[in-house]
Amino acid sequence: MKSTGPTTGLRFLVLGSAAGGGLPQWNCNCSNCAAARDPSSGLQPQTQSSLAVSIDGETWAIFNASPDIRQQIQQTPHLHPKALRHSPIQSVVITNADVDHIGGLLTIREKQAFSLFSTAAIGSVLDASPVFRVLDPDFVARKTIRLDEDFSPLDGLEARIFAVPGKVALFLEDGEPELGLEGEQTIGVEFVANGKRAYYIPGCATLPDWLCERISGADLVFFDGTVFTDDEMIRVGTGIKTGQRMGHMPITGDDAGGGGSLEALSKLGIGRMVYVHINNTNPIWRQGPERDAVTEAGFEVGHDGMEIELA
Ligand code: MLT
Ligand code: MN
Ligand code: ZN
């Protein structure tokens, strides 16, 4: 990891680039997962979905508390304690209530002060599970954030959340969930600092015109790269669900099926586009025509430890 000095720009660190389950997933032996277990393959294992953001390089806000957060902190010197009991992590912000984004809250329970930001809807999911009471309210300040209102997860960092098309968390599904729901269940985050604008959207079911307009011309967008094709899990034989059914728009797709994020995003004049929340079945993990298609269109494939600074 490169050394860091004080800065006033936006600094992003991908703590986990994989979707729920990670790469490899514990019970999967698809070709990607098998390769990620084989040190000679060149495919590094990747942890579950999380992004760290800082302005000064000293204090950090974590977007999504993945079940791998202990390992992510361990492999990120920026996030190590600097005193007997201390953490550079000042806040945690949750973008939806799926296990890959809240499971890590149970790991950071050791009476360390931080702020936990969520929408009222996501907060009520945490409130409904008594296990999250392990986060002692004397230390963890729960803060409710509203759609389209400014909040400050770190001193000097201006952020705003907004609804993106999604669905309720997997474990809250009761029959067929409403897909493409726009509410407090699934949010994107907008960051502004030093005249730069960036977005973190790890889960998104479609890219309607209003959302394209919102992120158009941004300096940086981290976007949902769960599946390359909608039927990928079915074709690989690992599952029966499409990306759409999971609340994730595919990277590529035909217009009849709603199109893909690659075509939609690449028209928007965005400075850097990075796929994150990538499922273990996704062929872009490895060299090949799918990864070439993504990189030729100007996208980057996120990976654990990836650092981006917008100075
Ligand atoms: C998803 O993004 O679809 C979820 O992480 C699913 C899950 O909870 O495994
Ligand atoms: Mn997920
Ligand atoms: Zn797999």
Q: What are the angstrom distances between the C-alpha of 160 and each of 63, 150, 195, 207?
A: 13, 5, 15, 19
Helix, strand or coil for residue 196? strand
Given a cut of 60, whether residue 6 has pLDDT beyond it is no
Instruction: Report whether 110 contacts 134 (CB < 8 A).
Output: no
Looking at the CA of residue 171, tell me the nearest atom of ligand 1. 8
Given a cut of 50, whether residue 153 has pLDDT beyond it is yes
The model's pTM:
0.97
Q: What are phi and psi of 272, to 5 degrees?
A: -135, 135
pLDDT tens readout for residues 252-304: 998 777 789 999 999 999 999 999 999 999 999 999 999 999 999 999 999 99
Q: Which fold has domain 10-38+45-310?
A: Metallo-beta-lactamase; Chain A (3.60.15)
As a whole number of angstroms, the distance between CA 165 and CA 180 comes to 4
The whole-number pLDDT of residue 7 equals 57
- Ligand 1 midpoint to CA 72 (Å): 19
As a whole number of angstroms, the distance between CA 285 and CA 243 comes to 17
pLDDT tens readout for residues 111-128: 999 999 999 999 999 999
- Ligand 3 midpoint to CA 47 (Å): 13
The whole-number pLDDT of residue 296 equals 98
Domain boundaries, the chain: 10-38+45-310
As a whole number of angstroms, the distance between CA 40 and CA 36 comes to 9
Instruction: Report whether 46 contacts 304 (CB < 8 A).
Output: yes
The whole-number pLDDT of residue 194 equals 87
Looking at the CA of residue 203, tell me the nearest atom of ligand 1. 2
